[in-house]
Amino acid sequence: MYEGHLGEITFSSDGITIGRFVKIDETKLPKRYIINKDATILFWNDGTKTVVKRSKNDKYDKRLGFLTAYFQKNCGMSKNKANKYLDNLEEE
């Protein structure tokens, strides 16, 4: 049996997980952000920024603004397609 580190999980010789290691890829995090009641702006290491604005009917939610901007930057879709995707999420 192999004993040691494999990916993000460490296994013991008897096959039992003995620990987890979380490695944060800081290149995927914004270097700076601004959150206020009307907009969320994420500034990225590549010099770009992502802006998400709250409409009149939207409830203020700093987490949702941040995650929406993060998704738009990292999903590989255009901003419009990313917004349509998020708008069409369904609950089971």
pLDDT of residue 27: 75
Classify residue 57 by its DSSP letter.
Answer: T
Alpha-carbon span 70 to 30, nearest angstrom: 8
Per-residue pLDDT at 23 exceeds 50: yes
Over residues 37-87, the pLDDT tens digits come to: 899 999 999 999 999 999 888 899 999 999 999 999 999 899 899 999 998
Q: Sign of dihedral through CA atoms 62, 63, 64, 68?
A: positive
Per-residue pLDDT at 1 exceeds 60: no
The residues spanned by each domain of the chain are: 1-25, 31-92
Q: How far apart are the first and last CA of the chain?
A: 41
* More confident site: 4 or 30: 30
Task: List Cβ neighbours of 52 (8 Å cut-off, separation of 6 or more).
Answer: 39, 40, 41, 65, 68, 69, 72
pLDDT of residue 26: 76
